[in-house]
Amino acid sequence: MTMSEGLTGKLAWSESDPDEAMLATATAELAAEDSHAADREEWPAALWAPLERIGAPRWTIPAKHGGASCPRPLLVQRYAQLAGGSLTAMFILSQHDAAIRRFLAAEGCPVAEQWLCAIARGDALATVGISHLTTSRRLGAQAIRVTPAGPGSGRYRLDGTMPWVTGATRADVVVTGGVLDDGQQLLVALATDRPGVTVCPPFPLAALQASCTSEIRLEGVEIKTADVLAGPSDQVLAHPGAVGTGGLETSVLAAGQARAALTALIELAPGRGELAEPLEALCDDWQSVWAQILAQARGEAEAMEPARIRGRANGLVTRATQAYLTARKGTGFLRTEPAQRWARQALFFLVWSCPAPIAQAAIRDLAGLCPSPI
């Protein structure tokens, strides 16, 4: 066995996938399109099309709603594999699936059932606009104010701004929330064609520009009680089965991109003896992080906590992409090369849905202060 074969073996997928060939084809197609589409300021139709073709937007929907009911260990492997082709595409899908999990958490809610069936038919794209209730404080804790329309009216008025909404220019429904004057929170399914909903132009991001991540402004938007998914309550997002982008899925995307960079680095290794020891260490780290991701996805009792996995995945994707960029030298810095794009995209994991303890741990790592408590 050659060194390259041994290293590639450490990056092998561990879950048996009945659609392995289909996933490999889709990943290759995404990789080919990502270089053209990832930094454009428009909806990446060429990146979303392969995901639709393989049924990815329906993987997390139960069969009773017309979905695929994909088991979670296999789901996270598919996430990681496709992220190696296009982080942009999988970022959009992760937000779509985060909305689906919120619909599933609202069991028995008619509006949730309606949206799940529409998504399963391929008639709707969902996303989430809940960062103002979790990690983002850019617009303050009451970024969206909820006001009862009147006693017994069964209606609410929404005013304010969702600060970070991915796929906003294309989404048909956004799962979002707001705060009433008494501090109680409300979670709602908001159709983007409602009067008073304004989708702003996408932010000029350092990477993932084609994710169409924007603000959505609400001015006097009226909703019915039937649109409410949860609340009013103190912690409207506290459903254990409805984790968002700060959960395991974000770490999975990081692992997928890290693997793509390491695979590319292995291709450079023959004749580059100086790469042997660093590559061995990085591939060992990837193998360890991936094992912890799968243990968590399987629900194993001894699995590492998602926050610790996120910290390790953040560090891994940063090191792997920068190692590949460094090994590619000046050529890797050209805008036509994946090396610079992957290095820019890895910065995403340091800021997106990154709770304070994880961010602080990353800063400690960068300062050489170890261990980093999470």
Alpha-carbon separation of residue 288 from 11, 200, 313, 362 (angstroms):
10, 41, 10, 19
Domain positions in the chain are 12-120, 126-233, 248-366
- Which structure tokens are listed for 41? 């300021």
Cα separation values, 134 from 56, 244, 327, 352, 356, Å:
26, 9, 38, 11, 11
User: How many other C-beta atoms can be found within 10 angstroms of the C-beta atom of residue 195?
Assistant: 8
What angle, rounded to 10 degrees, do the helices at 276-297 and 248-268 form?
Answer: 150
Q: At what angle do helices 248-268 and 87-105 cross, to 10 degrees?
A: 160
CATH fold of 126-233: Butyryl-CoA Dehydrogenase, subunit A; domain 2 (2.40.110)
Q: Say how far apart CA 190 and CA 112 lie, in whole Å.
A: 11
Q: Can you give the pTM of this predicted structure?
A: 0.92
Q: Which CATH number fits domain 248-366: 1.10.1740.10, 1.20.140.10, 1.10.150.120, 1.10.579.10?
A: 1.20.140.10
How far apart are alpha carbons 371 and 138 in whole angstroms? 30
| Sign (positive or negative) of CA dihedral 9, 11, 15, 16 | negative
Q: Do domains 126-233 and 248-366 have the same CATH topology?
A: no
177 burial (CB, 10 Å; 0-12 / 13-18 / 19+) is buried
Q: Each residue of 188-211: pLDDT tens digit?
A: 999 999 999 999 999 999 999 999
Q: 12-120 has which CATH code?
A: 1.10.540.10
Tens digit of each residue's pLDDT (9 = 90 or more) over 238-269: 654 444 444 799 999 999 999 999 999 998 88
User: pLDDT value at position 240?
Assistant: 46
Is the alpha carbon torsion for 208, 129, 102, 61 positive or negative? negative
Dist CA 348 CA 205 (whole Å):
10
The burial of 134, by beta-carbon neighbours within 10 Å (0-12 exposed, 13-18 middle, 19 or more buried), is given as: middle
**Per-residue pLDDT at 244:** 44
pLDDT at residue number 158: 92
Q: State the pLDDT at residue 22.
A: 96
Q: How far apart are CA 203 and CA 307, in angstroms?
A: 27
Q: Which residue numbers in the chain have pLDDT < 50?
A: 240-246
> DSSP class of residue 336?
T
